[in-house]
Amino acid sequence: QDITSDDTPIQIENPLDATPRQYEILGIEVEGLTTSREEFVIGTSGLQEGTQITIPGEAIGQAIRSLHQTGLFTDIEIVETGREAGGIYLKISVQERPRLETFRIEGVKRSERSDLEEEITLIPGYAVTESSVAQAVNTIKRYYEQEGHWDTQVNVSQTKTDTVRNRVTVIFDINAGERLEVKDISFGGNEQFDDRTLQKSLGTIKEDKWWKFFSKKLYKEDEFEEAKNNLGQFYRDHGFLDFRITSDSVYTFPYTQQRLYVLETPARGVKVDISVHEGPQYKVRDINWEGNTVYTDEQLTQTLGFEKGEVFNQTKFQRRLEINQKGPDVTSLYQDIGYLFFQAEPEIDIVAEDSVDLNINLVENEIAYVEEVSFEGNTKTHDDVIRRNLRTVPGQKYSRQAIIRTIRELGQIGYFQQQSIEPNLNPDPENQTVDINYSLDESQSTDNFEFSGGFGGRGIGLILSAKVNFNNFSIQRAVKGEGWKPIPSGDGQKLSLGVQVTGSGYQSYSTSFQEPWLSGRPLSLGVNMSYDLIKYRGSDQRNELFSSSVSLGRRLDWPDDYFSHQSVLSYQLYDVAGGASFLPEGASNILSIQQILERNSTDNRISPTTGSKLRLSGEIAPPMPGFAQYYKFKSSYQNHTTIVGDLVLTNSIEYGYLGYLAQGKRSNFQRFKLGGTQMQQRQSFLDDNIDLRGFPGGRGGSITPFEDGQEVGGRLYTKYSFELRYPAITEDQAQVYPYAFMDAGNAYLNPSQFAPFDVKRSVGFGTRIFLPILGLVDLSYGYRLDGIPNTQVRAGEWEFLFNIGAPF
Amino acid sequence: CKNEDLIQRGDTLPTAYKKSMSLFQSGEYSDAAEAFETVIELGRGTDYGQEAQFYLAESYFNDGRYLLASAEYARYTTLYPRADKREEAHFKEAYSYYKLSPRYKLDQKHTRTAIEKFQLYNSRYPDSERVKEAAQYITELRSKLAKKLYYSANLYRRTKSYEAAIVYYDLTIENYPESNWAQRALVDKISTYVTYADRSVQSKQRERYQGAVDAYETFVQLFPEGEYRSEAEEHVDDARAALADLGEGSSSEEEEQSPVTSNLD
C-alpha cells in the first residue's frame, strides 16, 4: 500500500547541482548523417574542436537549439564519449529529416488544385515535418470550408522519391465531400419581431430560396459570429438592452428538394437555430451631464439628439456621443475646439421596469496643441507638395475637423490612394500636445494617357485624339536632367501634351503647364499654348488659331478659404480665309485680360456629393491699334446635394454676356453657341462653345441666332441643368456614375432679344466612367424637347454624345 | 550569356556553385542571383549554401537592387551567426539602406533604418576599421533628416504660419543639435520671431520680440563660434530695438533681462 516502503533509493542527479567545470573539446564526431555534411552540423552547433565549454552550462543546450532551428534534424542528442584531464570528447547524433522533393494534390478539380498549390506553403528542399504537413492539411480544409464543404477528408501519404538525397514526395488525396447551403434559419423566443425581420437583421448569413439562384448561401463560421452580433445590435438598437442569445446550433439535416414543382429529390442542407431572450424595450427617461464647463446641458442634450420617452437606440447613442460621420456628435463638439483629451463616460442606469437614465460624466481636460505633423509613404511626391495641403498646422489647437478635411483634400490631389490615407495621433497628455502622422500610399501611377476615337457628327467625321497628362511633374528636376526614368516627378506640377485630328482636315496641338505653388508660395502659374487648323471639305474655307496664355492664381483666405482668384493674360491670332462674311478675312489679333473669382467647396472632382461652386469671370480685350476689342462677363453656379442614400442632385445655372467698348474693330470671335461636348467643340474654335446635352453642337448643330442664314453666335446665353446621379461603382480601379438629366439653354443675338426662360430643352440619361489610365469618359443620350429652327436638329429626336474630361 | 554558363539539371553542387561564381565575376549579376538561389536550394546545410547566401546578397547589391540585397544580407547573418563574413554582411546590410535613402523631400523610412543598422554595427564591432566610415554615414544621414525638418519649417514660414515654423525650427534643433542645420534653424527662428512680432497686434509683440532675444541667447550658448553669428546679431538687434521702443511701462522682468544680454555682448 505504502509506496514509499520500497527502500531502494532512487538516484537522480540534478544537473544543476553538479559543479560547472570548463572543458576543452578534444574531439567531436557526428552520427546519423545522410546528405548534410559533418562540418555543417558541427559549425551550426558551435562545438568546434578546441572550443572551451562549461558543463553543465549553456553551450550544449544552445547547440541542440541551433541544430533544431535548421529544421533539418530530429532526435538530436549530444553525448560525452570520453574525458581526459581538462578535456572532453563529444558525439552529436542526429536523425536527418527527409526533405521535400515536391507535393501533389489529387482528387480535386484543376482550378482548385492550382488555388491550393498557391496557398500551401511547403517549399522544395525544406525538411518535411509533422507540423508543416499538418499546416498544409489545415490550409486545405479551410479552403474547402470557405466553399461550403463541411466534411473534407485529406489523406496524406509520403513516398521516398530520391533515396540518395533523402527526398520525399508528399501526396494529398482530397475528398471534398458534399457542398451544403443554408436552407433554414429559425428563431425561438422572439415575440416583438417575426422570423423574417430577424433573418434580415443577420446580414451575413442568408437562407437559400428557390428564387435566389444567383448566389450560393454558404455557411461560414466567422460570418455566423458576425450575424449573431448583428442580431444583438438590431435588438439593442430597438431598446432591448437585456437581449441575449440563449442558444444557437448549426447542423445538417435532410430535406426534400423540389424541382419544377413536380420532381422531388432528397438532399442535405444546413439548418441554423437561434433562441433569444428579448426582455423589455427601454425608453429614455432623463439625460444628465456632469463635469461640463464648455457647453451647457442643453447644448449637449441637443447634440445627443434623444427626446424623453424615445426608445433607447444604443447605436445612435454611441454614434452621437463618440463619432457621427453624418452629423453632429458630442466628442466632435469638444475635439473640434482642441479638447483632444476629452472623455465621456456614459452610464446607462435602468430605472423602473422599462426606462433608462443616461448619466454622462465628462472629463474635459486641457486643450491640446498640434506639435509635429508628419507623413510617410511619399515615395514620389516631394514634402512641400503634401505639407502645403495639410490643414493640421503645428502650434494650432487640435481639431478633428481639420484632420477630416486634410484627409479629404489629400485624397483630392489624386496622388494617393484615397481609402488608405490614415491619420495616426500620438498624444502627449503631460505637455498637452499631439503629433499627427498621415500614412499615405503612393503606389499607383498618377500619369495618364487619353486616347480616343469617336464620330464628331456631320461635317466633321472621325475624331482621333491623344493626350498625355503628367500630373506630378517636376520641371526643376527635368532641367537638372535627373529622374528621366521615365519622367521627372514629385513637384506636383501638371504638364500635358495633346493632339487631335479628324478625317476632314482638322488638326489641333496643345500643350499646357501648371505649377500650383510658384517658388514655394501659394500662387499658381499656368502656361498654355495651342494651335488649331481646320479646312472644310469641298470649300476654300480655312480657319487657323494660334493661342497662348499665362495665368496666375491664388487661394484666398477671405471671405472664406474656399475662395480663389485667377488672372489670365492671353493672346490670340486668328486667320480666317473664305469663311462667313461676318468674320473679317485675314489675320486678327486679340489681346485680353481676364479676372476670375471662384468659390469651390465641392468634395470630389469626378462626382461631388456636397458643396457648391460659384464662378464669376470678366474679360476685356481693350481697343488698341491693330487689335480687335470686346469684353465679356460670365457667371456660373452649381450646387450638389445628397438627397437620399448616395443619390446626388446637381443643379447649375450659367449666364454669359459679350459686349463692346467702342464702335471700331469689334471682334466677332468667341460668340456663344450651345450644344455638344467640349471634346468635339474644339473644332469650332472660332466660337465660345457651351456644352449642352441632347444637342449635337458644331456646324449646323448648335443653338445660335442666325443672321442672313449664317450661324453668327449669340452675345448672350443662358444655361440651366439638373442632374440626378448615383455612384454605382466607386473602386480605385473603376468608377461608374449613371445619371439622369434635364438641360436647357439658349443663345441670343443681342441684349434686346434676351429672354432668360425662352430656352431649348432636352432630357435624358447617361453615365460617367472613370478609369485611372483613361481618365473620365462621359456618355449621354438626350431627347430633345425643342428643335433648332433653320437646321436639321428637330424636336423629338435622340442625340448620343461622347466626351472626355471632368464636367465639374 | 551562353547556355553552358547556366546551371543545368544534373550539375553537382560544386559545379553549380562554380558556374554561379563565374557569372558573378563576369558582372552578370542578375543571372548570378538566380544561379545562387538555385545553389542555396540545392545546398542547404552545406558550406556552398552558406557562401551562396552571401554572394546572392552581393549580386543583388551590385545589381542595384538594394532592398533585396539588404534582406539577403540579413538572412545570411541570422542563418550563419558564426560565419567569417558576418561583419561584412552586417555592414553591407546597413549600406544597402544607405543606398536606398532617397532625397530629403521624400519619405525617409530607409534613412532611419540605415542609421539604426549603422549604429548597431558600431556597437557590435567597436574595434572594426569601418567604425569611422559608419559614423560618417550616420552623420550624413542625420544631416539629411535635419534638412528635411528645416525645410518644412521654411515652408511654414513662407506661408506665414510663424508658430508652425518656430515649432519646426525647434524640432530641428532638438533632434539634430550637432548638425549644421540646427545652427541655421536657430538663426531663422530669431528672424521668424522678429517678422512674427512685426506683424502682430501690439499686445502680443513684446512676448514675440522676447522670443527672438531668448533664441539668440540659446544660439550664443550652443554655437559661440557659429558661422551665422553675425547674422543672428543683426536680427536680435532689430528685436532689441523694437523692445526698447515698446519699453515704457515695461515689467520688472524686462529690467532683469537687459543686463544679462549686455554682458553677453
Averaged pLDDT, A86-111 = 86
Residue A363 bridge partners (DSSP): A343
Smallest CA–CA separation between A394 and chain B, in Å? 4
Query: pLDDT at residue A446 above 80?
Result: no
Residues 6 or more apart whose Cβ sits within 8 Å of residue B8: none
Quote the CA–CA distance of A498 and A507 in Å, as a whole number. 11
Averaged pLDDT, B242-250 = 76
Residue A725 bridge partners (DSSP): A648, A739
What pLDDT sits at residue A216?
A: 60
Range with the lowest mean pLDDT among A33-47, A268-282, B215-229, B247-261?
A: B247-261
What pLDDT sits at residue A213?
A: 53
Smallest CA–CA separation between B72 and chain A, in Å? 17
Query: pLDDT at residue A1 above 60?
Result: no
What pLDDT sits at residue A569?
A: 97
Number of Cβ within a 10 Å radius of residue A29:
12
B52-95 pLDDT, tens digit each: 999 999 999 999 999 999 999 999 999 888 888 999 999 999 99
Quote the CA–CA distance of A86 and A71 in Å, as a whole number. 33
**Bigger pLDDT: A256 vs A341:** A341
If you ran DSSP here, which 8-state letter would residue B4 be given?
G
If you ran DSSP here, which 8-state letter would residue A807 be given?
-
**Bigger pLDDT: A450 vs A627:** A627
Q: Measured in Å, how far apart are chain A's first and last C-alpha atoms?
A: 95
Phi, psi of A309 (to 5 degrees): 90, -5
Quote the CA–CA distance of B139 and B134 in Å, as a whole number. 9
A678-715 pLDDT, tens digit each: 777 777 888 999 999 999 888 888 999 998 888 899 99
Band of residue A500 on the pLDDT scale cut at 50, 70, 90: confident
CA-nearest of A228, A218, A208 to A145 is A218
What pLDDT sits at residue B259?
A: 40
Residues 6 or more apart whose Cβ sits within 8 Å of residue A714: A658, A671, A672, A673, A704, A705, A746, A747, A748, A749
Quote the CA–CA distance of A5 and A23 in Å, as a whole number. 41
Q: Measured in Å, how far apart are chain B's first and last C-alpha atoms?
A: 73
Q: Which three cell numbers stand for residue A55?
A: 558543463
**ipTM attached to this prediction:** 0.87
**Residue A189, by phi and psi: left (phi above 0), alpha (psi -120 to 50) or beta?**
left
Residues 360-419 of A with CB under 8 A from B: 371-372, 375-384, 387-388, 393-396
Query: pLDDT at residue A493 above 70?
Result: yes
Question: What length is written for chain A?
Answer: 808
What pLDDT sits at residue A427?
A: 93
What pLDDT sits at residue A453?
A: 65
Query: pLDDT at residue A583 above 70?
Result: yes
Query: pLDDT at residue A653 above 80?
Result: yes
Band of residue A806 on the pLDDT scale cut at 50, 70, 90: low
A-interface mutation test, from B44, B162, B163, most A Cβ less than 10 A away: B44
Smallest CA–CA separation between B51 and chain A, in Å? 12
Quote the CA–CA distance of A187 and A271 in Å, as a whole number. 11
CA-nearest of A696, A673, A672 to A455 is A696
- Quick check: A532 and A513 in contact, CB under 8 A? no
Smallest CA–CA separation between A232 and chain B, in Å? 44
Q: Which three cell numbers stand for residue B105?
A: 523631400
**Mean pLDDT, chain A, whole residue set:** 86
Specify the residue for cell string 429652327: A789
Residue A435 bridge partners (DSSP): A426
- E strand map for A15-66: 21-31, 52-55
Q: CA torsion angle for B2, B4, B9, B13 (degrees, to 10)?
A: -120
Query: pLDDT at residue B2 above 70?
Result: no
Band of residue A159 on the pLDDT scale cut at 50, 70, 90: confident
What pLDDT sits at residue A17?
A: 64
Q: Which three cell numbers stand for residue A386?
A: 503634401
What pLDDT sits at residue A418?
A: 83
Report yes or no on whether pTM surpasses 0.95. no
Query: pLDDT at residue A521 above 50?
Result: yes
Residues of B in contact with A37 (CB under 8 A): 45-47
Quote the CA–CA distance of A679 and B179 in Å, as a whole number. 55
Residues 6 or more apart whose Cβ sits within 8 Å of residue A496: A467, A468, A469, A470, A510, A511, A512
What pLDDT sits at residue A255?
A: 79
Q: Which three cell numbers stand for residue A792?
A: 436639321
What pLDDT sits at residue A23?
A: 84
A755-776 pLDDT, tens digit each: 999 999 999 999 999 887 667 8
What pLDDT sits at residue A455?
A: 61
Band of residue B265 on the pLDDT scale cut at 50, 70, 90: very low
**Residue A682, by phi and psi: left (phi above 0), alpha (psi -120 to 50) or beta?**
alpha
The answer to whether A518 contacts chain B (CB < 8 Å) is no
What pLDDT sits at residue B255?
A: 41
**Bigger pLDDT: A583 vs A509:** A509
Smallest CA–CA separation between A595 and chain B, in Å? 24
A-interface mutation test, from B50, B105, B163, most A Cβ less than 10 A away: B105
Q: How many helices (H) and strands (E) does chain B have?
A: 12, 0
- CA A432 and chain centroid, separation: 33
What pLDDT sits at residue B167?
A: 96
Q: Which residue of B has its CA nearest to A375?
A: B107
What pLDDT sits at residue B260?
A: 39
**Bigger pLDDT: A254 vs B264:** A254
Q: CA torsion angle for A375, A377, A381, A382 (degrees, to 10)?
A: 40
Number of Cβ within a 10 Å radius of residue B120:
14
What pLDDT sits at residue A739?
A: 96
Question: Is A520 close to B155, i.e. CB distance below 8 A?
Answer: yes
Query: pLDDT at residue A262 above 60?
Result: yes
Averaged pLDDT, A184-211 = 80
Query: pLDDT at residue B252 above 50?
Result: no
Quote the CA–CA distance of A235 and A193 in Å, as a whole number. 9
Give the one of B41, B46, B148 whose C-beta lies nearest to A383's C-beta.
B148
Residue A403 bridge partners (DSSP): none
Residues of A in contact with B105 (CB under 8 A): 382-384, 490
Band of residue A425 on the pLDDT scale cut at 50, 70, 90: very high
A620-651 pLDDT, tens digit each: 999 988 899 999 999 999 999 999 988 999 99
What pLDDT sits at residue A209?
A: 59
The answer to whether A485 contacts chain B (CB < 8 Å) is no
Query: pLDDT at residue A613 above 90?
Result: yes
What pLDDT sits at residue A15?
A: 60
Residues 6 or more apart whose Cβ sits within 8 Å of residue A302: none
A60-89 pLDDT, tens digit each: 888 888 888 877 788 888 888 888 877 888
Band of residue B3 on the pLDDT scale cut at 50, 70, 90: low
Averaged pLDDT, A362-369 = 92
Q: Which residue of B has its CA nearest to A165?
A: B42
A553-564 pLDDT, tens digit each: 998 888 888 899
Averaged pLDDT, A347-368 = 91
Query: pLDDT at residue B112 above 90?
Result: yes
- Quick check: A621 and A590 in contact, CB under 8 A? yes
**Bigger pLDDT: B149 vs A56:** B149
